[in-house]
Amino acid sequence: MRAMAFARTGGIEVLEPLDLPVPPIATDDVLIRVSACGLNHLDLWVRQGLPQSLRFPHVGGCEAVGRVADIGSGVHGLEIGQAVLVAPGQGCGRCAACARGDDPACREYIIPGEHAPGGFAEFTRAPARHVIPLSDAWSLDQWAATPLTFLTAFSMVHRHGRVAPGDDVLVQAGASGVGSAAIQIAKLAGARVFTTVSTDLKARLARELGADVVVNSQHENFAEVVKDQTQGRGVDLVIEHVGQAVWKDSLKCLAHGGRLVTCGATTGPQVALDLRFFFIREIEVIGAFMGRRGELLQVLKLLDRKLLRPVVDRTFPLAELARAQQYLESRQQLGKVVVVVE
Ligand SMILES: [Zn+2]
């Protein structure tokens, strides 16, 4: 099968087209002919090298959608040709964490594309319990822009952020994958949504997605705008994945008792915290990693009912994965970048 893979970690040059064997399937597995796969910053980090070891050649891609091509003899309820997505986080299904529904805490939790071969190939395999049927509410290219991104944003806004109707919510980087999902999710929950962008095109997208106050960080300081628009009170919740560059001002935006939820650090991981401010204002800083299986099913239902929508900026053919990753790295994108495999 055609795949874009790498035999060693490094820069964009390590990505190469390879002809790899179609993955064999076990009794409980499903083989999926990949139609499209969304891109995430995680793909860049995995390619550049994370602490854990990879099995080379490694196929990345955490948001694979496609059609069932083959099923193991023990699989029921799925049909050849059916449109499906591969769950972006996969617990073992047996341990205490999985049993209480907290699969991201599973010691065997894997993200396909990071810990196992992902969707940047003609075929991928997954255990049947992690293969989720899709409706025709959206095209497969559009569905590919959703699983990891909306799962993460949904758990950040709801479980970690405990959003309530009428809350003021600041979403950092509103035109990013997580940002464009979080704006919609917070808005749907009845919040007033503030967001930051860096270009006029991104500002337009953020408004289309429902943001109430859009700050172009090139021209304005978002902390000042937030203070001004909330009469000095600040926001109840900050949804954050930018890291270092916005950390200090993000904290400054929080109202008394406010929560900052973070799932990433695209501009750098090292930040400072003034403990006096932290305890006097009774703020919470909360780490978020992926989301639970139940949250994935819930957010997919909202997408299915078109209460939320995938935001696809550009698609690239699989052979141009390197260009697609460079485009993501350049941070010009309006929503998600998707690689189309067939
Ligand atoms: Zn488990």
- Inter-residue contact 174 to 240 (CB < 8 Å): no
Query: What pLDDT was estimated at residue 53?
Result: 81
Query: What pLDDT was estimated at residue 63?
Result: 98
Q: Is the pLDDT of residue 266 over 90?
A: no
Tell me the residue ranges of DSSP E strands in the chain: 2-5, 16-19, 29-38, 63-71, 83-86, 123-127, 131-133, 168-171, 192-197, 213-216, 235-240, 254-262, 284-287, 312-317, 336-340
What spacing in Å lies between the alpha carbon of 103 and ligand 1's midpoint?
Answer: 6
What spacing in Å lies between the alpha carbon of 122 and ligand 1's midpoint?
Answer: 29
What spacing in Å lies between the alpha carbon of 77 and ligand 1's midpoint?
Answer: 23
What spacing in Å lies between the alpha carbon of 87 and ligand 1's midpoint?
Answer: 14
Report every protein residue that has its C-beta within 5 angstroms of ion ligand 1.
91-92, 95, 98, 106
Min mean pLDDT across 52-56, 80-84, 116-120 is at: 52-56
Mean of pLDDT values over 15-32: 97
Phi, psi of 340 (to 5 degrees): -100, 125
Q: Which two tokens stand for residue 47?
A: 């390619």
What spacing in Å lies between the alpha carbon of 220 and ligand 1's midpoint?
Answer: 46
Q: Is the pLDDT of residue 52 over 80?
A: no
For the whole prediction, is pTM greater than 0.95?
A: yes
- At 264 the three-state DSSP class reads coil
| Model pLDDT for residues 318-335, shown as the tens digit of each residue | 999 999 999 999 989 999
Would you list the domain boundaries of the chain?
Answer: 2-145+310-340, 150-287
Length of the chain: 342
What spacing in Å lies between the alpha carbon of 176 and ligand 1's midpoint?
Answer: 30
What spacing in Å lies between the alpha carbon of 133 and ligand 1's midpoint?
Answer: 22
What spacing in Å lies between the alpha carbon of 272 and ligand 1's midpoint?
Answer: 34
Q: What is the CATH number of domain 2-145+310-340?
A: 3.90.180.10
At residue 207, what is the residue type? R
The mean predicted confidence, pLDDT, of the chain is: 97
What spacing in Å lies between the alpha carbon of 97 and ligand 1's midpoint?
Answer: 6
- At 325 the three-state DSSP class reads helix
- At 233 the three-state DSSP class reads coil
Query: What pLDDT was estimated at residue 96?
Result: 98
What spacing in Å lies between the alpha carbon of 115 and ligand 1's midpoint?
Answer: 15
Q: Which two tokens stand for residue 297?
A: 């099913």
Which of the four CATH numbers 3.90.180.10, 2.160.20.10, 3.30.230.10, 3.30.70.1520 does domain 150-287 have? 3.90.180.10
What spacing in Å lies between the alpha carbon of 102 and ligand 1's midpoint?
Answer: 8
Do 150-287 and 2-145+310-340 have the same topology in CATH?
A: yes
